[in-house]
Amino acid sequence: MSVSRRHFFFGSLALPLLGAKKPVAERPNLLLILVDNLPSWLLGSSGNKEIRTPNLDRLAQTGTKFSNHVACSPAPALSRATLMTGRTPMQLGDSENPPAGDDSLEKIIASLGYVSNSTNSAGAVQFLDQQTAGKPFFLTVGGSLRAPYDGIAQKYRDLYAQSRFETFNTERVPAVNARVGKEMFADLVGNLRKAAAAVTSFDDEVGVVLAKLSQRRLVDNTLVIFTSTCGVLLGRHGLWDSGQASDPVNMYEEVVSTPMIWSWPGHLPTQANRPEMVSTYDFVPTICDLLGAQPAGRNLCGRSYLLLATGKPLPKKQPWRTTVFSHYQNTEMARVERYKLVMRDQGQGPGELYDLVADPGERTNQYDNPQFMTTRSPLADHLAAWKQKYSA
């Protein structure tokens, strides 16, 4: 279980954008499907057999799925801000509503001649109907899947009327450190049915947008990207919501492991599964790489994963990094393939260390186990270096 400091540090440095200065022969339309509180573990493409997500699963079948995509913050607003700017939560001032700067992805793309819009599924259909050939667009379709799941049509509720969600591994009572969502445990199965109905309803909305894209014959020149700002626990670990569900903030896999799927027929591999550790903060560098743009004068920690998405080999001298990081309020996380370190108050608060291979449910905290010190120490050093370098 020993991992060297050299492996952690030198395997994870942010590297220059790959190919960002090269001219781009074709700039596709961009359709970003972005939802709050939808973790990877709820999708059929990730193995969930109890919740119906056929349209999102079809995107994975027609494109590339990043199976280890990690949110940089377990809170929707802050994670969305990192996704759209490439800046860390510390650089954003930990603000729940950070101001939109001139260096946002939307501004960068607008400078390339794109028409941009951010709307819901109904607005997306209207927007697509108004597009004309030769004018590229950047369309963001948003959504949120937070309790109490109001306004979900009865037909979706009926789909789960008999579901027991026996594979969900939920607790029956709230955890002692639960901060919000404790009321959801009074009718756990009933509320799980509502959550499942909300997910399938959202999946149907995605299907409507994709159908309109096909109807307008825009599929061949449109890159479709689906991701989520953060996950949700839905009763696991005795918690319901995302990172803010507990006091202190949690960084469980259900919260930070989020979907990232790219689909562009004829341009990206189909049914591809990339295992590399990628983060929310890699998105802006990747899109800039794709479009031949480069954000200038910014201290970004992310790296373009365009070569991974397109199935091309990385330069031999630039292997993919091994570590990703998350931050929210007084809590930070360093995550490698096997281990996860969570620290609070610069190591003065309660810490956590999990062996995600031996303990995928994050039940046994090894933070104070002497046998894990050779794992914990380099992760802690690397986390401190990341925070120091990317706080400004």
**Conformational region of residue 129, where left means phi above 0, alpha means psi within -120 to 50, and beta covers everything else:** alpha
pLDDT at res. 19: 36
Look at the pTM and tell me if it is higher than 0.85: yes
**3 state SS of 247:** coil
Alpha helices by DSSP H, listed for the chain, are: 5-10, 54-61, 76-85, 105-110, 121-129, 154-159, 188-215, 253-256, 283-291, 306-309, 373-389
d(CA 70, CA 88): 13
pLDDT at res. 98: 67
Per-residue pLDDT of 112-158, as tens digits, reads: 999 999 999 999 999 999 998 789 999 999 999 999 999 999 999 99
By the 8 A CB rule, do 290 and 306 touch? yes
User: Which amino acid type is present at position 306?
Assistant: L
Nearest by Cα to 269 from 62, 67, 27:
62
By the 8 A CB rule, do 69 and 262 touch? no
pLDDT at res. 4: 40
pLDDT at res. 288: 95
The label of the residue with tokens 């159908």 reads: 211
Mark 314-332 as b/e (b = at least 16 C-beta within 10 Å).
Answer: eeeeeebbbbbbbbbbebb
The label of the residue with tokens 């397109």 reads: 310
Contacts of 52 (CB under 8 A, 6+ apart): 44, 159, 200, 203
The label of the residue with tokens 């995550």 reads: 335
Per-residue pLDDT of 54-88, as tens digits, reads: 999 999 999 999 999 999 999 999 999 999 999 99
pLDDT at res. 10: 31
Residue 13 buriedness (CB in 10 A; 0-12 / 13-18 / 19+): middle
Residues of the chain with pLDDT under 50: 1-24
Residue 96: CB atoms within 10 A of its CB come to: 11
Q: Is the dihedral of CA 50, 210, 219, 294 positive or negative?
A: negative
> Phi and psi for 51 in degrees, rounded to 5?
-115, 135
Quote the strand ranges of the chain, DSSP E: 29-36, 64-70, 115-119, 137-144, 222-228, 260-263, 272-279, 324-328, 331-335, 339-344, 352-355
d(CA 250, CA 231): 11
Domain range list for the chain? 17-313
pLDDT at res. 70: 98
Provide CATH code, domain 17-313.
3.40.720.10
Strand ranges across the sheet with 29-36: 115-119, 137-144, 29-36, 222-228, 260-263, 64-70, 272-279
Strand partners, 274: 66
Per-residue pLDDT of 264-294, as tens digits, reads: 999 999 999 999 999 999 999 999 999 999 8
What is the chain's length? 392
